[in-house]
Structure formats: structure tokens, C-alpha cells
Amino acid sequence: MRIDILTIFPEFFSVLDISLVGKARQSGLIELSVHDLRDFTHDRHRTVDDTPYGGGAGMVMKPEPWGEALDAVVDVETTVIFPSPAGERFTQAMARELALAPHLVFGCGRYEGIDQRVIDHTRGRVTVREVSLGDYVLNGGEVAAMAMIEAIGRLVPGMVGNPESLTEESHEDGLLEYPSYTKPSVWRDHEVPPVLLSGNHGKIAAWRHDQQVERTRRVRPDLLESK
Ligand code: 6GU
């Protein structure tokens, strides 16, 4: 998979050199490039923003640098993702789908957003998704893009040592994960649930499923309604 990131904060993404995504890059499974949006400006101050038409607070990112930057990285098989609190909700299902894409471009906006014509124009040429992590506001798309890249990157075929650890985790089956324990069997007077020491694999599987349902009902009842 190829990933291009467009941002005015390229140094933000140096953390991708470490972590699982860093290993995927070393092995060639993921080919990731970060581009400075200001390299696509032509004025002395490398201006990327301007005041909004119609008035209002904050600044809007100008269309011209975005147009040139996208022209430089987008081709026919590209999916362009614009992280935005006004986008559709990012989910595990979306991560699974995007992990199969040959080429992702993340357009990281700052300030009050990108001139809407950039998104509309790009949508006329390739697949475009405006995607939000959740119902809260970040200062820009960089942290959101990083979270999405980690969620997508670990699902790229060939990525994780043990594929079973992918199917058993939270959200893969629409439920939260069951609690996990390791040695010692008693720690500060807290015992490991005895069923896990029983050696009865049928009972263990049933207990874990009950824990998943109970935990989901308690903290995320919304996930049960959509099942
Ligand atoms: Cl994708 N961007 C911004 N700026 N804020 C967010 C978000 C994205 N997702 C949640 N909050």
C-alpha cells in the first residue's frame, strides 16, 4: 500500500518511523511519504490560508496549494481522505475496507477547514471520503490521520504476526473485548477468575463471550442496538 500525507506540519509524522507502521515501512509493505503543503505555494510567505468569504472566525485553507499538491500525488486508483470533524464516523469496518486500497492520500486541514471546492473538485476525479474520529474537535487533521493510519496499517494483509489477535479484539465482532489476565494467579489479593485456570476451553469461550456482552451493555449499549 502507498500512503501520501499532505500537511503543513510534516514533522508531526516522524512518530510513524517507530511503532508497527514503522516496521511495515521497513519491510516495504507500506510505502509512506509526507509532503509539506507550503512547498506548493509560490509567494514569499508561503501562504496557505485566508479569511472566510461571508465572514466569521478563523481562517480557511486556500484552494490553490491544495490543488497543486493533490495534482502531484493523486492518480486514478487513489482514495483521498480528508480528516474532518464534519465527516462520516471512522470505524473498524472502514479501516478494514481502506486496508485493501492500493493508494491512500490524507489531506490534513488546519484552522477552520479547507475551501470546500478542493473537496468537491477532487470528488469529481477520484474516491473522496471526509472522515471524523468522533464527536470532539481537534486543531487539525494530523492527529486524526495518524490514528487512522495506525488502525488501517495494522490490517494491511501481511502485517500482524498472529492474525487471530486481529479477529478476537474489540469491535471486530461488534462487541468490546473480554478482560485479559496473566501470571501471577493472585496479585495484591486479586484473583484471576477461576474459570480461566480450569482448562475447560468450552467454558472459557462461553465466559469470555458473556464478559464481552456484559461489558458492551454496561459501557457501549449503542453497539448492541445496531446488531
Ligand atoms: Cl478527523 N479532525 C478534526 N479536526 N477534529 C476531529 C476529527 C478530525 N475527528 C474528531 N475530531
pLDDT digits (tens, 9 = 90+) for 45-101: 999 999 999 999 999 999 999 999 999 999 999 999 999 999 999 999 999 999 999
| Residue ranges around ligand 1 (CB below 6 Å) | 83-85, 131-134, 136-138, 140-141, 144
CA of 91 to the centre of ligand 1 (A): 14
pLDDT, mean over the chain: 94
Apex 26 CA angle, 25 and 27, nearest 5: 90
Q: Residue of the nearest CA to atom 2 in ligand 1? A: 84
Q: How far is the CA of 109 from the centre of ligand 1 (A)?
A: 10
Instruction: Supply the pLDDT for residue 156.
Output: 93
At residue 18, does pLDDT exceed 90?
no
The tens digit of pLDDT for each residue in 195-223 reads: 999 999 999 999 999 999 999 999 999 99
Give the count of alpha carbons within 13 A of 164, CB side only.
0
Residue 1 and residue 156 in contact, taking contact as beta carbons nearer than 8 Å: yes
Atom of ligand 1 nearest to the CA of 136: 11
Give yes or no for residue 227 having a pLDDT over 70. no
Distance, CA 86 to ligand 1 centroid (Å)?
A: 8
**Residue type at 109 in one-letter notation:** G
pTM of the model: 0.94
pLDDT tens digits along 161-171: 656 667 667 78
